[in-house]
Chain A
C-alpha cells in the first residue's frame, strides 16, 4: 500500500523538475491547469520536505502539557507521551493496548468505552470530558479528543489527547454559583421593592410616591457602596454619609471609629438610617431650626463576637410622643435589624427627641 504513495511522490518530483527546467528556459507555457498542478505538486513536495523525524516528534509530544497517545486502527494503544505516565503514575507495560481502563473512574468507564468502540467502528472522531486518576489517586476532569489518521481513505491509526480542565471546571462552577446567587438576589430585591410599594401605598398620602422613590433610592445607594467593595463589606461611615447627605450634614454630629459591615448588616443599617432621617425631617429634630442630631458608634471587643453600639440621638426638636401604631418605617427598623441580625434595638421617644440605640454582633459574614 505504501508503494503507490511513494511512486506518486517520485512522479511529483520529476514533474516539478520538468516544470522548473521549463521555467528556467524562459518558456511561458505555465498557465491555467498547469499552474494549478505545479502549485499542488510543489505543496506535496514541501510537505514531504517538512516531515519531522521521530526524535523531533517525540521531543514535541513530551513537551506539551497535555497527555497524548497513538493507537492502531483497532484501538490498541501502542504509544503514550511522557506526561501520560507522569500524571497517571503507570508504566508502558500496564498501559499497553486497553490497559488505560485502570485509570478511569468505574462509574464513567462504560460511557467512555461506548464512545471509543463506536468511534472505532464508524471512524468518526469524538470529544468527551471524563475523569482520569492521577498518580496521587485523585480523579481530575480531562477533555479528550481523538481523531483518525487516514491514508487514501483508510484509517491507519488513531491519535488522541487529554487536556486537564480542572481550572476551567472550577471557574465554570464558580460562575454558575455566582449566576444563581445573582438571580436569587435580583428576585429578592424585586420582592423587597414590591414590599416597599405595598406598604408605602397601603394608606396613600400626598407624598407617597416621593416616599416610595426615596426608599428605593436608599436601597440602591447601599448597593453602590457594596459594589465598590466587591460585595464583601461596606464602611459604616460611608453608609452614614450616604443616608444623611439629603438632610443637611451640617445638622449632624457624627463620630465613630472605622467599621466595616457585612452586606446584610450594611443594607439593614442603610434602610434604618433612611427611615430615621425621613422621620427626623417630618416629625423630629429637623422640623425646627436649631434641631440637631448626633450619631455615635463604638465597637466593643470584650465579648466573643465584637459588638457595634450605635446611637442616634435627636436634640432640640419637638416633643415627640410614641406613635399610636407602628408605621412601615418603625417596623422596618425593628425587623430588619432585630430579626435579621440578632441585634438589640431600642427606640425611645424622649422629651428632647427620639433616641435610637442598637447593638449589632459583627460576626464574620461570608459571601456564599
Chain B
C-alpha cells in the first residue's frame, strides 16, 4: 500500500511540525502545509492529495469555505481545531474532529478513518 498524501491546513508552524512528525509515522506524506485561507484554497484545488487535516481559525481568518470545497473535490478531511468552531463542526458532522491540544493517538484515530474513507471512495469509483 502506498503512503497517503495529506494536505495540512494549520497556521501555527510548531503545531504543523508536530502533525508532520506524527503523520510520518502513520505512513503518510505531507504534500503541503497551508498557513492561511488563500493558500489553503489554492493548494486544495491545485495539489494532488488523498485527504486533509483542517484548522479552521487561521490567524483570526476563518476557513469556512474550505470544507465545502473539499466536499466538492470528494476529498475526505478531519478538523483539527481549538475552540469556538462548533457551528462548522456541526455542519460537517461526519468529518472526524481532533481537539487541540492533541496527542499522537487522536491523530491516528482520525487518519485511520480518513484512510478508510479514501479506500471506500476508490472502490465505489471502481464499481461505478
Contacts and interface: CB of A to CB of B under 8 A. Distances in A.
A190 B101 contact: yes
Contact of A188 (B15, B17, B35): B15
A20 interface: no
Contacts of A194: 18, 101-103
B84 interface: yes
B100 A187 contact: yes
B12 interface: yes
A246 interface: no
Given A183-B82, A184-B82, A368-B60, A331 B103 contact: no
A199 B21 CA distance: 8
A52 to B, nearest CB: 51
A191 B60 contact: no
A332 B18 contact: no
A132 B61 CA distance: 33
In this complex, which of B12, B14, B59, B84 has the most chain A Cβ atoms within 10 angstroms of its Cβ?
Answer: B14
Q: Dominant SS at the A interface?
A: helix
Contact of B17 (A181, A183, A185, A195): A195
A332 B101 contact: no
Interface string A197-209: 0110010000000
Contacts of B103: 194
B14 A184 contact: no
A14 interface: no
Contact of A332 (B17, B35, B82, B100): B17
A332 to B, nearest CB: 7
Given A191-B15, A192-B15, A199-B21, A184 B33 contact: no
Interface stretch (A117-125, A278-286, A314-322, A335-343): A335-343
Nearest to A337: B13
Interface in A181-232: 181, 183-188, 190-196, 198-199, 202
Contact of B101 (A191, A268, A336): A191
Nearest to B60: A368
Contacts of A186: 83
Interface residues of A, number: 32
A190 B11 CA distance: 15
Interface of A: 180-181, 183-188, 190-196, 198-199, 202, 264, 268, 271, 328, 331-332, 335-336, 339-340, 365-368
A195 B83 contact: no
Contact of A184 (B15, B18, B21, B84): B84
A202 B21 contact: yes
B16 interface: yes
Contacts of B61: 368
Interface string B36-67: 00000000000000000000010111000000
Contacts of B59: 264, 365
Interface string B73-104: 00000000011100000000000000111110
Contact of B83 (A184, A264, A268): A184
Contacts of A339: 13, 16, 33, 35
A202 B25 CA distance: 12
Interface in B1-37: 11-18, 21, 33, 35
A194 B99 CA distance: 13
Contacts of A190: 100-101
22 contacts: A180-B83, A180-B84, A181-B60, A187-B101, A188-B15, A188-B82, A188-B100, A190-B100, A190-B101, A191-B18, A194-B18, A194-B102, A198-B21, A199-B17, A268-B13, A336-B13, A336-B14, A339-B33, A339-B35, A340-B12, A367-B60, A368-B60
